[in-house]
Structure 1
Amino acid sequence: MDAVWSLCYAHLRKKKLQNGIIALLILLSTLLLATSVTVISNTKNVFMDIHRKTNGSHQILTLMNQLHDPQMIKSWWDKQDGMKVSELLPYRNLSGATFQGKEIANLYLFMMNTPAAQAKVDRFVFAQGGEALSPEAGSIWIPTSMAMTNKIAIGDSIGFKTGERMFELKVSAVVVDIPYGGPFATGARIWMNSTDYHKQLDTLQGEDMYMLGLRYDDYSESSRYWHSFEEGLGTPYLESKTDFEAISSFYFIINKLIGFVMIFVGVVMMLVALYTIGFTISDAILSNYKTIGVLKSLGLSSNKLIAIYVMQYAFLSVIAIIPGLGISYFLSKMIVESSLSYLKAGDLWVAIQGYDMAMLAGVVVFIAVLLCVLVYASKARYVQPMQAIRYGMSEMENNKMIKRLQVISGAKSIFERMPLPFVIGLRPILKNAKDSVLIVVLTTITSAVLVLGFVLLNSIFAIQQTAPLWGYDSSHVAVTIFNKSAFSRADLEKEVLADPRIKNIGWMSSLNGVFAPDQMPGAERAKRESINGNMDVLDGSFDHMGMAVLKGYNPRNSNEIALGVNVAKSLGKDVGDVVDVYIEGHKHTLTVTGVYQAIANMSYSARITADVVKKYNQNYNAAELCFINLADSTLADQIVQQLNTKYKDSISAVTQQTLLDSVYKDAATILILPMSMMGLLFVGVTFMIIYSICRMSIRKESKSYGIYKSIGMTSNQMRRAISAGIVALSAIGVVIGIVVGVYVLPILLSDLFSGYGIVQLPLIREWGGIIAVALLSVIAAGFGSWLSSKVIQKTSPRILVVE
Structure 2
Amino acid sequence: MSVMLLAKATFQKNKSQMIGFMLLIIISSALMNLGLTTFLNYPQLFDQYANDMQSADVITTIQNKDETYIKTYQQELLHDPDTKQMEQRNVLFFAGKCQYRNSETLRQFAVLNKNDKQEIGKISMMEESNKSVEHGIYLPYLFHTGGQYNLLDDFTLTIIQDGKEVTFTYQIKGFYEEMMLATINSSTTGLLLDDEEYQTVSKRLSHTIDATMFLMKVNQHDQNSEYATRHLPTITSTNPSIRSDMNYYETIKQSRTLTSSIGATLIIAFSMIMMVILVIVIRFKIQNTIVEDMKNIGAYKAIGYTGIQILLSLMLPYLIIGGIGGILGIGLSNLLLPFLSYMFAIQTGLTWHQGLDALCVSMTLLFLMLIISLITMVTSMKAKKLTPIVALRSGFYTHNFKRNHVPLDKHKATLTVLLAMKALIQNLKANVMVSIVISAIAFASVFAGVLFYNISYQFDNFLFASSGDIADIIVESKTHEDHLRLKKDLEKISGVDHSVDFYTDNAFQCGHEVVICYTSENFLHLRSQQVLYQGRFPKYANEVAIGGLLASKLHKEPGEMITLKKGDKEQEYLITGLIQGANYMGHDVAITEEGYRLFVKDYEARTLNIYTKDKQEIEDTIQYIKQHYSSNIIGIQNNRKVVEASMGSYRDIVSALVCVIAGITLFIIILIMYLVQKTSILQRKQEFGILKAIGYTSKQLIHQIALTSLMVFVIGAMTGAILGYYLINPLLSMLLSYIGMMKVQFEIPWMMLITIILLICLTGSALAMWIARRIKKISPYLLVNEN
Kindly tell me: are residues 365 and 645 of structure 1, through their superposed partners in 2, closer, same or farther at Cα, counting changes over 3 Å? same
The letter of the residue matching 2:189 is A
Q: Is the 8 A contact 1:85 1:120 kept in 2?
A: no
2:434 aligned partner: 439
1:141 aligns with 2:135: no
In the TM superposition, what is the alpha-carbon distance from 1:303 to its structure 2 partner?
A: 4.5
**RMSD, matched Cα:** 4.3
| Aligned mates of 2:474, 2:371 — CA distance in 1 | 59
Q: How far apart, in 2, do the equivalents of 1:84 and 1:588 lie?
A: 33
TM superposition shift of 1:627: 2.9
Q: 1: distance between equivalents of 2:436 and 2:112?
A: 62
| Cα shift at 1:188 | 1.9
Does 2:252 match 1:247? yes
> SS where residue 758 of structure 1 aligns?
coil
Q: Matched residue of 1:35: which SS?
A: helix
Distance 2:524 2:195 in 1: 45
Q: Distance in 2 between matches of 1:673 and 1:228?
A: 42
SS in 1 for 2:12: helix
Contact 2:103 2:641 in 1 (8 A): no
Q: Please tell me the residue identity of whatever aligns with 2:155.
A: S
Tell me how far apart the structure 2 counterparts of residues 608 and 217 of structure 1 sit (CA, whole Å).
34
What is the CA distance between 1:768 and its match in structure 2?
1.9
Query: Deviation digits for residues 240-274 of structure 1, max 9, x if unmatched?
Result: 65443322123333333333333333334334434
Of 690, 694, 711, 2:677 maps to 694
Structure 2 CA distance for aligned equivalents of residues 694 and 592 of structure 1: 56
Q: Is 1:454 the counterpart of 2:449 in the alignment?
A: yes
Residue 286 of structure 1 aligns with an amino acid whose one-letter code is V
Structure 1 CA distance for aligned equivalents of residues 304 and 763 of structure 2: 45
CA distance 1:245–1:632, change in 2 (3 Å): closer
Deviation at 1:329, TM superposition (A): 0.9
CA deviations over 1:642-674 (Å, ceiling 9, x no partner) = 556777897876655433421332222212333
Once residues 546 and 375 of structure 2 are traced to their aligned partners in structure 1, the CA distance between those partners, rounded to angstroms, is 51
1:658 maps to: 641
| 1:753 and 2:714 aligned | no
Please show how residues 73-222 of structure 1 align to structure 2 within 5 Å.
73-75=73-75, 77-78=77-78, 80=81, 83-88=84-89, 90-98=91-99, 104-105=104-105, 107-114=106-113, 116-129=115-128, 138-155=135-152, 156-162=154-160, 163-182=164-183, 184=185, 187-201=188-202, 203=205, 208-216=210-218, 218-220=220-222
The answer on whether the counterparts of 2:156 and 2:170 sit within 8 Å (CA) in structure 1 is: yes
Q: Is the deviation greater in 281-290 or in 550-559?
A: 550-559
Give the Cα–Cα distance (whole angstroms) in 1 for the partners of residues 482 and 746 of structure 2. Answer: 40
Partner of 1:49: 48
The Cα shift of 1:478 comes to 0.7
Task: Name the amino acid aligned to 1:690.
Answer: M
The separation in 1 between residues aligned to 2:623 and 2:609, in whole angstroms, is 15
1:542-561 alignment, distance < 5 Å: 542-546=523-527, 548=529, 549-551=532-534, 554=537
For residues 500-553 of structure 1, what are the alpha-carbon distances to aligned partners after superposition, in whole Å with 9 as ceiling and x for unaligned? 4434334544433324x6xxxxxx5xxxx4x44333455x65433436334565
Q: Deviations over 1:537-575 (max 9, x none)?
A: 55x654334363345655567776554445556677766
Deviations 1:617-647 (A, max 9, x none): 8986644x54333456653454446556777
Check if 1:384 corresponds to 2:384: no
Whole-Å separation in 1 of the counterparts to 2:87 and 2:231: 17
3-state DSSP class of the match of 1:755? helix
Which residue of structure 2 lines up, in the alignment, with residue 322 of structure 1?
A: 327
Distance 1:282 1:244, change over 3 A: same
- Residue in structure 2 matched with residue 15 of structure 1 by the alignment: 14
> Residues 399-443 of structure 1, C-alpha deviation per residue, up to 9 Å, x if partnerless?
2xx33xx22336537964543222222233222234312322222
Give 2:437's aligned amino acid: L
Name stretches of at least 5 consecutive residues in structure 2 with no aligned partner: 233-239
Q: Which residue among 586, 589, 598 is the counterpart of 1:603?
A: 586
How many angstroms apart in 1 are the aligned matches of 2:217 and 2:410? 78
Correspondence for 2:365 among 362, 367, 370? 362
Deviation at 1:157, TM superposition (A): 2.4
Deviation, structure 1 residue 81 = 7.0
Q: Secondary structure at the match of 2:156?
A: strand
Contact map agreement 2:146 2:345 (CA 8 A) in 1:
no
The alpha carbon displacement at 1:326 in A equals 1.0
1:734 alignment partner, SS class: helix
Secondary structure (helix, strand or coil) at the match of 2:56 reads: coil
SS of equivalent to 2:158: strand
CA apart distance, 1:495: 5.6
Tell me, yes or no, if structure 1 residue 635 matches structure 2 residue 617.
yes
For 1:235, the equivalent position in structure 2 comes to none
Residues 480-559 of structure 1 mapped to structure 2, 5 A cutoff: 480=475, 496-515=490-509, 524=511, 529=512, 531-538=513-520, 541-546=522-527, 548=529, 549-551=532-534, 554=537
* Alpha carbons of structure 1 residues 783 and 573: separation in structure 2 relative to 1, 3 Å: same
Check conservation: 1:563, 1:595, Cα contact below 8 A: yes
Greater Cα shift, 450-459 or 299-308: 299-308
CA contact (8 A) 1:560 1:593 kept: yes
Matched, 1:719 2:715: no
Residues 795 and 180 of structure 1: is their aligned pair in 2 closer, same or farther, counting only changes over 3 Å?
same
The answer to whether the 8 Å contact 1:89/1:115 transfers is: no
67 and 712 in structure 1: CA distance in 2 versus 1, 3 angstrom threshold: farther
AA partner of residue 498 (structure 2): N
1:440 aligned partner, one-letter code: S
The 1-side partners of 2:626 and 2:585 are apart by 32
Return the offset for 1:89: 5.3
Q: Deviations over 1:569-610 (max 9, x none)?
A: 667776677766566877777776654323222333344566
Q: Is the 8 A contact 1:45 1:353 kept in 2?
A: no
The answer to whether structure 1 residue 292 and structure 2 residue 297 are counterparts is yes
- Kept in 2, the 8 Å contact 1:514–1:532? The answer is yes
Contact 2:709–2:765 (8 Å) recurs in 1 = yes
TM superposition shift of 1:71: 4.0
Cα distance between partner residues in 1 of 2:280 and 2:575: 53
Deviations 1:359-380 (A, max 9, x none): 4412432344345444444544
Q: Structure 1 regions of 5+ residues with no counterpart? A: 231-237, 518-523
Conservation of the 8 A alpha-carbon contact between 2:580 and 2:740: yes
In structure 2, the CA distance between the partners of 1:710 and 1:185, relative to structure 1 (3 Å rule), is: farther
Deviations 1:302-335, CA, capped at 9 Å, x for gaps: 4444454444334433432232121011123422
Contact 1:564 1:595 in 2 (8 A): yes
Tell me the equivalent position of 1:351.
354
Matched-pair contact (CA < 8 Å) for 1:512–1:584: no
Go from structure 1 to structure 2 and tell me whether the alpha carbon gap of 1:420 and 1:243 turns closer, same or farther (over 3 Å shift).
Answer: farther
Structure 2 residue 396 is the aligned partner of structure 1 residue 407: no
Query: Residue 421 of structure 1 corresponds to which residue in structure 2?
Result: 416
* 1:742 lines up with 2:725 in the alignment: yes
Distance 1:112 1:71 in 2: 21
Contact 2:230 2:567 in 1 (8 A): no
The Cα of 1:275 is off from its aligned counterpart by 3.9
Q: CA–CA distance in 1 between the matches of 2:561 and 2:681?
A: 73
In 1, Cα distance between the equivalents of 2:397 and 2:40? 53
Q: Distance in 2 between matches of 1:775 and 1:292?
A: 40
Give the stretch that moved more between structures: 412-421 or 674-683. 412-421
Aligned residues: 764
Instruction: Measure, in 2, the Cα distance between the counterparts of 1:89 and 1:572.
Output: 43
- Cα distance in 2 for residues equivalent to 1:164 and 1:382: 84
